[in-house]
Amino acid sequence: MTEKQFEKLKYYVIAVTVFFVAGHLLWEHLNGGILSHHLMHHPGYPLISNWWGVLILPFLAWLSIVRIKKRITLQPSDAPERAKILRAVLIGFFGMLVLSLVQSVSVIFGYENVAMYLSLGLVVVGLFLPIYKAECIFGYVFGSIVFTGAVIPLIGILVIAGISWFSHLCIKPLVFRVLRAQPQ
């Protein structure tokens, strides 16, 4: 992709995100008011409004496109390698989008255990797959905004992404170094 195509893609992704968030907030406003959610569903904790999605999601969209562009431009102009990166980006985004939608729907229908097990499974998967990438975080938050807002899923995925980042950048290299050092 050229510089001009990335700029165009960035504006399209941000515009779609802003229209989605604005449409969702308009729908909430017309159907009883903008929702707010308690942290950890505990009434003693503060309420967090869905209005935060107006700031969080466009920022995550912008950050994702910037990080993807940087990842692609650091590669040589080899088209298959760039295509491989774009494929991984799409899989990461849509995989996390579907996961967050399944979690949200399971909570809505009263299956909180399913959402909890999916979150624990995501922690385990994060040890092996790089879910700390910006497109994964964006996909997760984007998929859950309709049901739980943007802040609570962002907090959760940032904790899980931090575990994934630590695993990939600290633990994984140590494990490979130990395995290479052992005689065969």
The residues pairing with 49 across neighbouring beta strands, listed in sequence order, are 36
Write the pLDDT tens digit of every residue in 121-180: 999 999 999 999 999 999 999 999 988 889 989 999 999 999 999 999 999 888 888 888
Among 120, 94, 119, CA closest to 104: 119
Give me the helices (H) in 31-133, please: 53-73, 79-108, 112-128
- The CA-to-CA distance between both ends of the chain, in Å, stands at 44
What is the token pair recorded at 53? 């999605």
Which of 35-44, 63-72, 134-143, 169-178: highest mean pLDDT?
134-143
Q: Which domain holds residue 162?
A: 3-181
**The pLDDT value given to residue 82:** 82
1 has pLDDT over 70: no
Averaged pLDDT of the chain: 90
CB burial class (10 A; 0-12, 13-18, 19+) of residue 4? exposed
Among 72, 52, 70, CA closest to 141: 52
6 has pLDDT over 90: no
Q: Are 104 and 119 in contact (CB under 8 A)?
A: no
**The pLDDT value given to residue 129:** 93
Domain tally, the chain:
1
**The pLDDT value given to residue 72:** 85
184 has pLDDT over 70: no
Task: Work out the average pLDDT over 43-57.
Answer: 90
**How far apart, in Å, are the Cα atoms of 130 and each of 40, 103, 119, 135, 160?**
26, 20, 15, 11, 11
Q: In which band, very low, low, confident or very high, does the pLDDT at 4 lie, cut at 50, 70 and 90?
A: confident
Global confidence as pTM: 0.89
Q: In which band, very low, low, confident or very high, does the pLDDT at 30 lie, cut at 50, 70 and 90?
A: very high
Task: Work out the average pLDDT over 70-89.
Answer: 83
Give a three-class secondary structure readout of 50-63: HHHHHHHHHHHHHH
CB burial class (10 A; 0-12, 13-18, 19+) of residue 100? buried
Q: In which band, very low, low, confident or very high, does the pLDDT at 101 lie, cut at 50, 70 and 90?
A: very high
Q: Which amino acid is at 54?
A: V
60 has pLDDT over 70: yes
